[in-house]
Amino acid sequence: MTATHDGLGVDHLITSNMPLVGHIVRETMGRVPSHVNRDDLTSAGLTALVQAAQAFDAERGVPFERYAATRIRGAIVDELRSVDWASRSVRRRARDLDDTRSRLASSLGRTPSVAEVASAMGLSPDEVVANDDDVSRAQVLSLQGATTSSLDELLPTQAPSPEQLVEHQEKLAYLVEAIAELPERLRVVVQDYFFAERPMADIAADLGVTDSRISQMRAEALVLLRDALNNALEPSLVKQSGKPGGCASRRREAYFAAVAARHAEGARRSPQVTAQLSRQVAAPVAPAPRRLDVAG
C-alpha cells in the first residue's frame, strides 16, 4: 500500500486499518486484568494509528500494516503503564519474590514464611512486606470483587424480593455516602470520570495536574471506596494499609467513621431523600456511565 501525504491518502490508511486496532486491543485484553478499560486502550490505539498514517513513508519499504501495528502496540503498552501505580522496579522485584516463593514452597513442601523469603532474596522482612504492599495498592480490582455480591446483585432485578431490595438499598446508600465523604479532589475525579465520563485530560486540566496524577488519584479513591464498603459490610475483607497508628491509618479510620456517621444519619431519611442524594452525588450522570472500579 502506498501512502500519500495528502488528506485522502492519510484518511484511507486510517479507515482501512481501523480493524487492526480492534484486533490488537482484543489480543491485549486477553492478557491483562479484567478491570482494564477497553475504551481507553482503543482510544490510545486509534491515536497511534492516526499518527502512524501521518508519519508513514512508503519509500522505506515497510508495509503500513506492520509499521502501524508496532506503533499501536507501543501506544497500548504506554497506556497500560500510565494506569499502573507500581513502578517497574516494584513489578520486577514482585516477580522475583513470586519465583522465590514458588521455589521455596516446592523444596519445603509448604508456604514459606516472610522471613524465609527475605533470607533467600537477601532482603529484610520489612522490604518484602513493603514490596507486597506496593503491589497490592497498585492492583485494581472490579467492584464485583470488592464484596461477596456481584454488581448485578446491587441493582434491582425485574422482580426483586423484599430482602434483595433492602440489601440493594443499603449497599447503594453506603456507596453514595462513601463517595460523598471522599476528600474533595478525589470526589471530583470519581464524579467526573465515572459519572460525567469526562476525559482524563480535561479533569487534569481543571485540577492543574498531569494525566498520570489523575490516574493515581482515581486509584486512590477507589481503594478508599472499596475499603469503606467492606468496612461497613464485610470487615474481614479490609486489609491493613500503612503503619498501624500512623497518619495514613488514622486518616483511613476517620474516613470510615465519617461514612458510618453519614449512613447513620441517612438511615433516618426516607427512601425518597436517599434516592435524591444518590442523584446529587452522581450528577451530572451520563446515559451509560463507565463501570465503577475500585483499587486493591
Q: How confident is the model at residue 134 (pLDDT cuts 50, 70, 90)?
A: low
Amino acid at site 196: A
Q: What is the pLDDT of residue 3?
A: 45
Tell me what the mean pLDDT of segment 253-281 comes to: 69
Q: Around Cβ 43, how many Cβ atoms within 10 Å?
A: 16
Helix 211-233 / helix 247-266 crossing angle, nearest 10 deg: 60
Q: How confident is the model at residue 203 (pLDDT cuts 50, 70, 90)?
A: very high
Q: What is the pLDDT of residue 148?
A: 43
67 in Cβ contact with 52 (< 8 Å):
yes
Domains of the chain: 7-82 (1.10.1740.10), 88-138 (1.10.10.10), 140-295 (no CATH)
In the 8-state DSSP scheme, what is residue 295? E
Read off the pLDDT of residues 64-118 as tens digits, 9 standing for 90 and up.
999 999 999 999 888 877 655 555 666 677 788 888 888 888 888 888 888 898 8
Which region holds residue 134: left if phi is over 0, alpha if psi is between -120 and 50, else beta?
A: alpha
Residues making up the chain, counted from first to last: 296
Region of poorest pLDDT, from 34-38, 131-135, 189-193, 288-292: 288-292
Which secondary-structure segment (H or E) carries 142?
Answer: strand 140-142
Residue 33 in grid coordinates? 486484568
Residue 86 CB partners (closer than 8 Å, separation 6+): 94, 134, 135, 137, 138
Read off the pLDDT of residues 230-247 as tens digits, 9 standing for 90 and up.
888 888 887 776 667 678
Long-range CB contacts for residues 181-184, cutoff 8 Å, separation at least 24:
181/228, 181/255, 181/258, 181/259, 181/262, 182/221, 182/224, 182/225, 182/255
